[in-house]
A and B are shown apart, each in its own frame.
Chain A
């Protein structure tokens, strides 16, 4: 039997097939087909059959990741969607809480609402803040609204009523009226998509669900048809923003849950591989051409958040807590009035960095790396592309070196230093700013550009371990094979330290778990493979932002106190103070139901511990403090388990180079991962 992970990106669709018996991994990429992503999936399954002898009927698990929904929001190419809102509130999604994203700009505009005003309707109904009906929704009113929707010929409908998260009856009645008038309407209701308070964020999330629903629906249909035709009977599962899997039916009804699944797959892959190698606490950084995604995992688990964003729009669904900044290989370096800026503007794919020779003239971070000798000009993307080193060097020299009075190498290093500082700021946002000390984590770079800079970032943050995983090019697809089915459910009920009891908690959590158990059993999970994670969102009475606290292990009579203590401690760690004497409120009770999938065992490499590795060559590279040095280069695929390399050195593979800085030591582990030790002494500032 084979496990298959498929990740649809904008350019390539990645495949990872894992033989469940032997543990052998097959990976490849096929070109994506943006107008019909399922065709690329089919092409991959055919290739697997034709070239690797894998019968489609032998695929026992098929997991799929897609950015179709994400791209349709980013490109504003979603469905023609209608919004139905409580009377008096249809413009809430356009007013966008009055906020401006930045100051001192007379020309500023807000992001356009995904549903224009002409397609936003109001229903005369109202639920109050206790969940009581203030204005009943009459049958006539529901029918009137339904007719408007039918007449408008919408592809999707989103319904967001005030306080529907406390009382969903009006939203459901509207939905039913619309379905009665048009049985194939795609309707999303906010009490189902995002049952949390704050109407703007909830409405926007619900609108987004509708906005992407027809595309996802169509994709699911195509996939099921094509895979059925080729004889692949495996149940299809899709990776969601929380890093867990869901079935096709849930994907069709809740496509908004896939919006942030792109970075989630990579992070889950990184965490899975790192955990297998013994690194449970990691900061993963996925650096591509234009952006850097950063995520922190503790105890082998990624942290989740419900405050995410796609483009300029809030998305209120559980998601892997990924922080994205505009720092990539294509980030442009510019000197503006004597100061050096790198990014967030990017040269993009076209023209790309100067060294690509596609007409780029301004130096990028990649051009700096080429100038410093870090990237082999003849082995870029495995040699498929040859780089113009002289052009890169000229651009660095003339645009950065001359204005700052530096030679090309110094200027290139300055670009790297500024970019590293930007990346460090991003990493601090997910670590220090949330109360975690980065020194307690290993840094895990993946994506094309991350491993060039990991060493300098680690020095700056005093991180002593860097972990470069196997299969960096298809980590997202691999990650899909290493994760579980995950459904999260939430109930809001206000209690405080005076009124709460272990029994009340137990009743709430047991109720949530009952539903989740039924759902997971429906997916064929055995009782023994189901587990639950209980957490509670807590705050001081009067605050509005909660901290999500995992339920501590404590006997029933001590549970309430133990939860309060855990909350005080987290509050102090995150915010520098706690009010131990004040009442603490329990707000949202969350359970994640995990259907534990049998994970493939990653297969250790053949080969013996070899001690020092053999370089394949050497070239000049420029490093902080020591300047130019003849630097040995290694081919990653030839490194056997146990191989050791002392920096400075360059370890190359198709699509990525690891720069091993002076004083850093690298060891290859039994799976082929590379672990780098960075000296723990506080590095000197000038080191970067």
Chain B
């Protein structure tokens, strides 16, 4: 561990955190699309000249390792000049999936590269065969949208307009996307300013030493927490509903080996790469593994390269987690959620009673596309949704949130309706969706959206319809996701979790139920008073109270004797 004075570690570490947060708030405030300005599906970070991540905003976990991988590539492969700005989204050249456009700005001081300031924004559309660029049945990366290999968008402060024109010509809503790219540039510019202030204060060389100390410190804390878990190898499997083309599950298999604070995550046993877009780019797999392991450690550890160092990743070639180009990858988020959840499940075996139920393990991406009333102008609405988390030893699982790998805001109903000819008719929690347990799984929710004008089509990329989130230690699974299309004509179709470019017409209702989390512990052990609370709040139904939790309620109060009898009966029945 580098010997840096402890006060400087704290001071500089905190400064970096506040700088990357400010970058992200700048991005949000200057962005144009709802996905960035309302949902904040974005990340901002600072890197050292070698591409080591030195600070990242507390946002989408899946971006954490991803930007790091790309930053290293930029640092190593591109000769950088002051005032350059590098853009990329190519999934086989540092990117995650097509819609995530990354922007990097080298930070120079006195002619020396001192840092790299970076932003990643999920863009509403980057072309390809499906609006929103989230087709669930693409067969190669070329169908999935425009790919931008790492290149300089600005050379020494001067924009290369041809690049912007090239982008503009290949995407569906350029006025949003180009505005959002500007917002990313704002963010990296703020990051540059803030880092230069640090350099001014400490001097280049001393700052570099302190920053190295900040990384070492996170690494030490990570190892200390990881070493508390018993050494051993722990395996688990998880499944995707399908690969979007063939209707068969996709298996993720991990073996996590812990040894005195070192972690090896081995994917041997994971399915070969699939036809559809649920393969994972390199940077995505790293982020999923880092996050899955990170959940085993203290949340207050400052997130940076030091957190990654104890972790080694082993991936067999040609699998879902190490596909060969040009295998499609745009749906990789679903796979990431499954990887992180599977790592948590594997490590449950090392955690005694302190296990957690499975989370929703998906992100539901929804894209509707059509025209505005009385206009030729087309729109693309892209939204993301979550579900419930698993119950834990300490309490019920988190209701209605994004998965382990995501953290964003929803798009307010009023923002959707102000912007698009759509109407959100339900956004409520779903009774009985949380997996029963002594600590219940978190609740899923409905999101029903009516399409109002003319003809359009919609794409949905969801998960967890066939493999509901698992309970632990006697807890029951959460409710699976469900998707339906209720036609204006009155006809209702149950849909698979993955749908691409389905035609929709004015008056059709896109009906979605998001999954609940898995329960923790036997529901028959849940305190009757908490069961009553859930019942009064309609978080569980009267049937569930009686038949799953074994609690008999009469006239709004628990009948203790009848409850005891009912529970005994249910225990015998198993």
Chain A interface (Cβ within 8 Å of chain B)?
A: 87-92, 94-100, 102-110, 116-118, 128-129, 134, 162-163, 197-200, 335-342, 404, 414, 417-418, 421-422, 425, 428-429, 433, 540, 542-545, 571, 574-577, 579, 685
B37 and A545 form a contact (CB under 8 A)? yes
User: How many chain B residues touch A (Cβ–Cβ < 8 Å)?
Assistant: 84
B97 CB–A CB distance under 8 Å = no
Take A89-B427, A94-B399, A198-B414 as given contacts and tell me if A576 and B193 are in contact as well, using a CB distance cutoff of 8 Å.
yes
Q: Does B395 contact A (CB under 8 A)?
A: yes
From B241-249, B261-269, B290-298, give the one contacting chain A: B290-298
CB pair B445–A118 under 8 Å, yes or no, is no
Residues of chain B from 178 to 197 with CB closer than 8 A to chain A in the complex = 179, 182, 185-186, 189-190, 193
Q: Assess whether B503 is interfacial by the CB under 8 Å rule.
A: no
Residues on B with C-beta less than 8 A from A163 are: 414, 417
Which chain B positions have C-beta within 8 A of A404? 6
Q: Could you tell me the distance in whole angstroms from the C-beta of B562 to the nearest C-beta in chain A?
A: 22
The residue from A89, A414, A422 contacting B6, defined by CB atoms under 8 A apart: A414
Q: Is B467 an interface position by the 8 A CB rule? A: no
Nearest-neighbour CB distance to chain B for A52, whole angstroms, equals 48
Interface set, chain B 397-419, CB cutoff 8 A to A: 398-402, 407-410, 412-415, 417-418
**B414 touching A417, Cβ below 8 Å:** no
Q: What residue in chain A is nearest B411 (Cβ atoms)?
A: A97
| Residue in B61, B175, B291 whose CB lies within 8 Å of A542 | B175
Query: Looking across the interface, which residue of chain A has its beta carbon closest to that of B387?
Result: A98
Asked if B28 is an interface residue, CB under 8 A from chain A, the answer is: yes
B176 cross-chain contacts in A, Cβ below 8 A: 542
Q: When A88-B428, A199-B412, A685-B202 are in contact, do A98 and B400 touch as well, CB less than 8 Å?
A: yes
Contact partner of B410 among A97, A425, A579, A685, CB < 8 A?
A97
Contact assessment for A576 and B410 in the assembled complex, using a CB-CB cutoff below 8 Å: no
A98 touches B402 (CB 8 A): yes
Contacts of A338 in B (CB 8 A): 1, 6, 217, 220
B395 touches A107 (CB 8 A): yes
Q: Kindly identify which residue among A104, A197, A422, A540 contacts B418, using a CB–CB cutoff of 8 Å.
A: A197
Residues A118 and B537 in contact, CB atoms below 8 Å apart: yes
Name A544's closest neighbour in chain B (CB-CB): B37
B179–A540 contact, CB under 8 A? Answer: yes
Known: A418-B10, A542-B179. 6 other contacts (CB 8 A): A94-B399, A95-B427, A337-B221, A421-B7, A545-B29, A575-B189
Given contacts A197-B414, A575-B190, contact A116 B537 (CB under 8 A): yes
What's the nearest-Cβ distance from chain B to residue A410, in Å? 10
Residue in A104, A117, A342 whose beta carbon sits within 8 Å of that of B294 in the complex: A104
- Residues on B with C-beta less than 8 A from A88 are 424-428, 448
A635→B201 CA distance, assembly (Å): 36
Q: Which residues from chain A contact B13 at a C-beta distance below 8 Å?
A: 339
A341 to B221 Cα, complex, angstroms:
14
Measured CA separation A215–B407 after assembly (Å):
37
Q: Which residues of B contact A342 (CB under 8 A)?
A: 10
Would A579 and B182 count as touching, CB distance under 8 A? yes
Residues of B1-52 at the interface with A, using a CB-CB cut-off of 8 Å, are 1, 6-7, 9-11, 13-15, 18, 22, 25-26, 28-34, 37-38
Contacts of B539 in A (CB 8 A): 117
Closest chain A residue, CB of each to CB of B223: A337
Q: How far is the CB of B216 from chain A (nearest CB, A)?
A: 10
Query: Are A104 and B61 within 8 A (Cβ)?
Result: yes
On whether the beta carbons of A576 and B190 are closer than 8 Å, the reply is yes
State how many angstroms separate the Cβ of A489 from the closest Cβ of chain B.
21
- Asked whether, in the complex, the Cβ of A544 is within 8 Å of the Cβ of B415, the reply is yes
With both chains docked as a complex, state the minimum distance between the C-beta of B452 and any C-beta of chain A, in angstroms: 9
A414–B193 Cα gap in the complex (Å)? Answer: 27
Q: Is the CB of A104 within 8 A of B299?
A: yes
Bound complex: CA A658 to CA B352 (Å)? 54
Which residues of chain B come closer than 8 Å to A162, judged between CB atoms? 413-414, 417
Q: How far is the CB of B434 from chain A (nearest CB, A)?
A: 13
Interface string of B429-470 (1 = CB under 8 A from A): 100000000000000010010000000000000000000000
A335: nearest chain-B partner, CB-CB? B6
Q: Which of B13, B297, B418 has the largest count of A CB atoms less than 10 A from its CB?
A: B418
B355-371 interface bits toward A, Cβ cutoff 8 Å, 1 = contact, 0 = none:
01000000000000000
Instruction: Let me know if A110 and B398 touch, CB within 8 A.
Output: yes
Most buried by A among B30, B186, B201: B30
Chain A residues whose CB sits within 8 angstroms of the CB of B93 once the complex forms: none
Question: Taking A104-B291, A197-B415 as contacts, is the C-beta distance between A544 and B10 under 8 angstroms?
Answer: no
- Distance in Å from the Cβ of A308 to the closest Cβ of chain B? 15
The yes or no answer to B66 lying at the interface (CB within 8 A) is no
| Cα of A340 to Cα of B1 in the assembled complex, Å | 16
Compute how far the CA of A199 lies from the CA of B182 in the bound complex, rounded to whole angstroms: 28
The distance in angstroms between the C-alpha atoms of A116 and B10, with both chains bound, is 40
Across-interface contacts of B28 in A (CB, < 8 A):
545
A129 to B424, CA, bound (A): 11
- Contact yes or no, B291 A414, CB < 8 A: no
Q: A98-B402, A129-B418 are in contact. Are A89 and B58 (CB under 8 A)?
A: no
A103 to B26, CA, bound (A): 20
Q: Within 8 Å of chain A (Cβ to Cβ): is B168?
A: no
Best-surrounded residue of B11, B217, B220, B410 (most CB of chain A within 10 A):
B11
Q: Which of A98, A421, A425, A433 has the most CB of B within 10 A?
A: A98
Cβ-based interface call for B386 (8 A): yes
The residue that A107 contacts in the complex, of B11, B59, B175, B394, with Cβ under 8 A, is B394
> Which of B175, B190, B224, B401 makes the CB contact (< 8 A) with A98?
B401
- Within the complex, the shortest CB–CB distance from B300 to chain A, in Å, comes to 8
A99 and B409 in contact (CB under 8 A), knowing A129-B418, A335-B6? yes
Contact A575 B6 (CB under 8 A): no
Residue in B14, B31, B202, B386 whose CB lies within 8 Å of A422: B14
Q: In the complex the two chains form, what is the Cα distance from A105 to B445 in whole Å?
A: 21
Whether the Cβ atoms of B427 and A428 lie closer than 8 Å is no
Specify which chain B residues have a CB less than 8 angstroms from the CB of A418 in the assembled complex.
Answer: 7, 10-11
A575 touches B32 (CB 8 A): no
Kindly report which residue of chain B lies nearest to residue A85, judged by CB atoms.
B428
**In the bound complex, what is the Cα–Cα distance between A138 and B425 (angstroms)?**
19
**A134 nearest CB across to chain B (Å):** 7
Q: Which residues of chain A are within 8 angstroms of B11 by Cβ–Cβ distance? A: 417-418, 421
Q: Are A575 and B26 in contact (CB under 8 A)?
A: yes
B residues near A108, Cβ cutoff 8 Å = 389, 398
Selected A-B contacts with CB under 8 Å, 23 pairs? A89-B428, A90-B428, A95-B399, A98-B401, A98-B402, A100-B402, A102-B58, A104-B295, A105-B299, A106-B389, A116-B537, A117-B429, A118-B538, A197-B414, A337-B221, A338-B6, A340-B10, A428-B18, A429-B18, A542-B32, A542-B179, A544-B38, A575-B26
List, in ascending order, chain A residues with CB within 8 A of B10's CB.
Answer: 339-342, 418, 421
A117: contacting residue among B189, B413, B445, B538, CB under 8 A: B538
Residue pair A103, B299 in contact (C-beta under 8 Å): yes
In the bound complex, what is the Cα–Cα distance between A428 and B18 (angstroms)? 9
Smallest CB–CB gap between B537 and chain A, Å?
A: 4
Q: Which residue of A lies closest to B425 (CB)?
A: A88
Q: Contact check, A339 vs B415: say whether CB atoms are below 8 A apart.
A: no
In the bound complex, CA of A540 to CA of B413 (Å): 22
Give the docked Cα–Cα distance between A150 and B14 (Å): 52
Question: How many whole Å from B486's CB to the nearest CB in chain A?
Answer: 14
Q: In the complex, what's the smallest C-beta–C-beta distance from B488 to chain A, in angstroms? A: 16
Listed residue (A103, A128, A200, A337) with the most chain B CB atoms within 10 angstroms of its CB? A103
The answer for the CA separation of A641 and B201 in the assembled complex, in Å, is 37
**Minimum distance in angstroms from B405 CB to a CB of chain A:** 10
Given contacts A118-B537, A425-B18, A433-B22, contact A128 B38 (CB under 8 A): no
Pair A94/B538 contact, Cβ less than 8 Å:
no
**Are B423 and A200 interface neighbours, CB within 8 A?**
no
Decide if A577 touches B189 in the complex (CB within 8 Å).
yes
Q: Which of A103, A109, A336, A425 meets B15, CB within 8 Å?
A: A425
Given A98-B402, A544-B38, A545-B29, is A117 in contact with B426 using a C-beta cutoff of 8 Å?
Answer: no
Closest to A571 in B: B30
B538 contact set on A, CB distance < 8 A: 117-118
Check if B169 is an interface residue, CB within 8 A of chain A: no
